Structure 1
Amino acid sequence: MKLSWLILVVILIAVGIVSMLVGVTQLSLLQVVDTLFHGGDYDFVVNQYRFPRLLLAIGVGAGLGVSGALVQGVIRNPLASPDLIGVSAGAGFAATLLLTIYPDAPIWYLPLAAIFGGVSVGLALVIIAQAVKLPPARMALTGIAISAFLASGIDFLLVVHPIEINTAMIWLTGSLWGRGWEQLPYIWLGLAILLPIALWYAWRLDIIGLGDESAIALGVQLEKVQIAAILSAVMLASLSVSIAGTISFVGLLAPHLARMLFGHNHKALAIGSALIGGLLVLIADAIARGISPPIELPAGVLTSVIGAPYFIFLLKRHKGW
Structure 2
Amino acid sequence: MITEEEKYAHPLAKKRRMALIVLPILLVIVSVASLMIGQVSFSVSEVFSGIFSSEDTMARRIVWEIRLPRILTGIIVGVCLAIAGSILQGVMQNPLADPGVIGITSGAGIMAVAVMVVFPGYIIYLPIAAFLGAFVAAMIVYALSVKKGGTSPMRIILVGVAINALCGAGTNALMILYSDRVQSVLPWLSGGLTGVGWVQFKMIIYYVIVAIIVSVYAIKHIRIMRLGDEMASLLGHNVERSRFFLIVLSTLLAGIAVSVAGLIGFVGLVVPHILRLIIGGDHKYLIPASALAGGLLVVFADTIARSVFDPIEVPVGILLAFIGGPYFLYLIHRKGNSIATN
For Structure 1 versus Structure 2, the TM-score category normalised by the shorter chain is over 0.9
Specify the alignment match of 1:24 in structure 2: 39
User: What is the 5 A alignment of 1:49-64?
Assistant: 49-64=66-81
TM normalised by structure 1 equals 0.95
| Larger Rg over CA atoms | 2
Q: Mind listing any 5+ residue stretches in structure 1 that lack a counterpart?
A: none
Residue in 2 that maps onto 1:267: 284
Q: Distance in 2 between matches of 1:64 and 1:135?
A: 23
Q: Which residue of 2 aligns with 1:4?
A: 19
- CA distance in structure 2 between the aligned counterparts of 1:191 and 1:260, rounded to whole angstroms: 27
> What's the offset of the Cα at 1:199?
2.0
Give 1:156's match in structure 2, choosing from 148, 173, 196: 173
Q: Over the residues paired in the alignment, what is the CA RMSD in angstroms?
A: 1.5
Structure 2 counterparts to residues 19-168 of structure 1, below 5 A: 19-38=34-53, 39=55, 40-105=57-122, 107-130=123-146, 135-168=152-185
**Does structure 1 conserve the Cα–Cα contact (< 8 Å) formed by 2:84 and 2:99?**
yes
| 1:285 aligned residue | 302
Whether the aligned pair in 2 keeps the contact of 1:92 and 1:241 (CA below 8 Å) is: yes
Choose which of 284, 289, 293 in structure 2 pairs with 1:276. Answer: 293
CA distance in 2, matches of 1:190, 1:241: 13
Is contact 2:134–2:255 with CA below 8 Å preserved after alignment? yes
- 225-234 or 203-212: which moved more? 203-212
What whole-Å deviation, never above 9, does each CA across 1:275-316 have from its counterpart, x for those lacking one?
A: 111111111111111112232110101110100000000000
Contact 1:87 1:118 in 2 (8 A): yes
User: Structure 1 residue 184: deviation in Å?
Assistant: 1.3
**Is contact 1:71-1:229 (8 Å) kept?**
yes
Post-superposition CA distance 1:12-55 (Å, at most 9, x none): 11110111011221222221111111142222211011001110
Question: In the TM superposition, what whole-angstrom CA distance separates every residue of 1:262-283 from its partner, at most 9, and x where no partner exists?
Answer: 2111121111111111111111
Greater mean alpha carbon deviation, residues 231-240 or residues 123-132? 123-132
Cα separation, 2, equivalents of 1:113 and 1:92: 9
Aligned with 1:318: secondary structure? helix
C-alpha contact (below 8 Å) 2:50/2:61 kept by paired residues: no
Letter paired with 1:109: Y
> Does the CA-based 8 Å contact 1:202-1:266 persist in structure 2?
yes
Q: Are the counterparts in 2 of residues 171 and 246 from structure 1 also a CA contact under 8 Å? A: yes
- The offset of 1:131, in angstroms, is 5.5
Aligned to 2:312, the other structure's residue is in SS state: coil
Counterpart selection for 1:312 from 329, 332, 341 = 329
Equivalent residue number for residue 200 of structure 1: 217
Percent sequence identity over matched residues?
Answer: 35
For the Cα contact (< 8 Å) 1:91–1:241, is it kept in 2?
yes
Question: How far apart, CA to CA, are the structure 2 residues paired with 1:263 and 1:131?
Answer: 31
* Number of residue-to-residue matches in the alignment: 320
Q: Is 1:257–1:276's contact at 8 Å kept on the other side of the alignment?
A: no
* Aligned residue identity for 1:252: L
Given the two structures, how large is their TM-score scaled by the length of structure 2? Answer: 0.90
- Residue pair 2:19, 2:289 contacting (<8 A) in 1 also: no
Q: Which of 30, 36, 53 is 1:15 aligned to?
A: 30
2:223–2:282: 8 Å Cα contact kept in structure 1? yes
Structure 1 residue 108, shift from structure 2 partner? 2.1
User: How many angstroms apart in 1 are the aligned matches of 2:199 and 2:274?
Assistant: 31
Instruction: Decide which moves more: 24-33 or 294-303.
Output: 24-33
Deviates more, 1:118-127 or 1:195-204: 195-204
Partner of 1:240: 257
User: Quick check: 2:80–2:254 contact (8 Å CA) kept in 1?
Assistant: yes
- Counterpart contact for 1:60–1:187, Cα < 8 Å: no
Q: Which letter maps to 2:124?
A: W
Farther off after superposition, 195-204 or 110-119 = 195-204
After superposition, the C-alpha distances for 1:182-209 in whole angstroms (9 at most, x for unaligned) are: 1213433223212222222213322211
Return 154-163 or 302-311, whichever deviates more. Answer: 154-163
SS for the counterpart of 2:139 is: helix
Q: 1:134 deviation in Å?
A: 5.2
Question: Which letter does structure 1 place at the counterpart of 2:263?
Answer: T
Deviations along 1:153-192, whole A, 9 cap, x unmatched? 1112112211111111111110111111112134332232
CA distance in structure 1 between the partners assigned to 2:161 and 2:290 by the alignment: 22
CA contact (8 A) 1:199 1:266 kept: no
